[in-house]
């Protein structure tokens, strides 16, 4: 990946305040972002398979204490370290939508089971609503609801420095995929409206969750808007875009899928059968075309009898995938850990 060079370029073009610590991280993890200062915070916590590394990085940045983990949304690559940080005293803050579903152990939590992306059970200590102002690190940040990629997706806006934490709303090279099957036919239009709101903030720096920090902020926003418009204009294309992402992620966290069980794996996935219905296709035909198309595009490769993702990614220890689905998570105790009795931090 060229990200090291890009980060260097970015640091020259967009110097970050000393209280913002950002580090690119390959899939299957979201990038690392810590806000240090009187309220030390980690934004998103990576995939469960690398939770220890996430905690160690966060503690190295913050001098050993993370008061809050703030989640931009509940996908597995953003919440996988929540439990590990909660175990050492951090509180978890997330969008109201996600907080309520996590509290009732809704089977749809984190879209974990649906996407076949394991998440270690966690609780949410603080629900975040649009427009709230939170002291994070050394500055006040505004919560910006940015639904589309998921219904609860939020961004964080620091108006003085004009820093925008974008989560998966966009990156330097793409825009968040949307799920019309789960979130309805308007999901892509919702994402586009959110993007327009973000553009309206006129951010200086986009703190992205994947890939480098864009060197050219307006160009990154304009590119994302074009891509988001395309997903609105081409609903079938949006379905394809989503399932390619979901399948590539499945291959990354599993070290590939054995070729002789590939069809079986795909046909057992709700995301595949839902996509087939949206595309008016039979699931077996769609599974075959998905694999063939990704092979042709060079997005997947075959080695040692397994189909693997071609994009750079970090290996995951298989044992880390042994997590209960949210329907089997232990009941969430009433918020009583970490920040709940602490009125100094983001908990207000």
Binding site for Zn ion (CB under 5 A): 75, 168
Rank residues 29 and 132 by Cβ distance to Zn ion and give the closer one. Answer: 29
Distance CA 157, CA 288 (A): 43
Q: How far is the CB of 111 from Zn ion (least distance, A)?
A: 9
Least distance from Zn ion to the Cβ atom of residue 63, Å: 29
Give the shortest CB-185-to-Zn ion separation in angstroms. Answer: 20
Residue at token pair 């931090």:
345
Pairing label, strands 68-70, 300-303: unpaired
Q: Which is nearer to Zn ion, 73 or 269 (CB)?
A: 73
Q: State in angstroms the smallest separation of the CB of 237 from Zn ion.
A: 19
CA nearest neighbour of 70 among 35, 105, 94:
94
Q: What minimum distance in Å lies between the beta carbon of 15 and Zn ion? A: 28
- Beta carbon nearer to Zn ion, 177 or 265: 177
End-to-end Cα, the chain, rounded Å: 41
Instruction: State which residue has the least CB distance to Zn ion.
Output: 75
Q: Are 207 and 34 in contact (CB under 8 A)?
A: no
Tokens of 149: 């990629």
Q: What's the closest the beta carbon of residue 209 comes to Zn ion, in angstroms?
A: 8
Specify the residue, 27 or 240, whose C-beta has the smaller distance to Zn ion: 27
Nearer to Zn ion, 13 or 96 (CB): 96
Residue among 29 and 168 whose Cβ is closer to Zn ion? 168
The secondary structure of 303-319 as a DSSP string is: ETTEEEE-S-B----GG
Enumerate residues 6+ apart whose C-beta is below 8 A from 16: 22, 163, 205
Q: How far apart are CA 1 and CA 76, in angstroms?
A: 23
């Amino acid at each position: 990946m060229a990200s090291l060079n890009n980060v260097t370029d970015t640091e020259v073009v967009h110097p970050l305040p000393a209280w913002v610590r950002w580090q690119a991280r390959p899939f299957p993890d979201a990038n690392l972002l810590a806000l240090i200062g009187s309220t030390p915070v980690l934004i998103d916590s990576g995939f469960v398979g690398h939770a220890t590394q996430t905690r160690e990085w966060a503690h190295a940045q913050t001098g050993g204490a993370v008061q809050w983990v703030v989640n931009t949304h509940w996908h597995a690559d953003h919440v996988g370290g929540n439990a590990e940080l909660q175990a050492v005293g951090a509180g978890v803050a997330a969008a109201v939508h996600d907080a309520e579903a996590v509290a009732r152990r809704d089977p749809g939590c984190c879209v974990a089971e649906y996407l076949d992306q394991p998440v270690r059970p966690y609780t949410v200590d603080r629900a975040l609503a649009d427009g709230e102002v939170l002291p994070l690190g050394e500055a006040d940040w505004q919560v910006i609801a940015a639904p589309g990629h998921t219904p609860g997706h939020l961004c964080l806006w620091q108006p003085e420095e004009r820093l925008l934490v974008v989560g998966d709303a966009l990156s330097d090279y793409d825009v968040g995929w949307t799920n019309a099957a789960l979130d309805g036919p308007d999901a892509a239009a919702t994402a586009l409206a959110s993007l327009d709101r973000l553009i309206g903030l006129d951010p200086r720096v986009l703190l992205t969750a994947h890939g480098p920090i864009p060197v050219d902020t307006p160009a990154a926003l304009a590119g994302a808007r074009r891509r988001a418009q395309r997903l609105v204009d081409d609903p079938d294309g949006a379905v394809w875009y989503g399932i390619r992402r979901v399948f590539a992620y499945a291959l990354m966290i599993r070290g590939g899928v054995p070729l002789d069980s590939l069809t079986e794996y795909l046909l057992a996935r709700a995301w595949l059968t839902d996509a087939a219905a949206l595309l008016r296709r039979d699931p077996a035909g769609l599974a075959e075309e998905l694999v063939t198309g990704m092979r042709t595009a060079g997005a997947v490769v075959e080695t040692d009898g397994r189909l693997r993702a071609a994009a750079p990614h970090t290996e995951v220890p298989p044992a880390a995938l042994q997590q209960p689905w949210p329907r089997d998570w232990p009941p969430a105790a009433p918020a009583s850990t970490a920040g709940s009795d602490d009125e100094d931090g983001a908990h207000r």
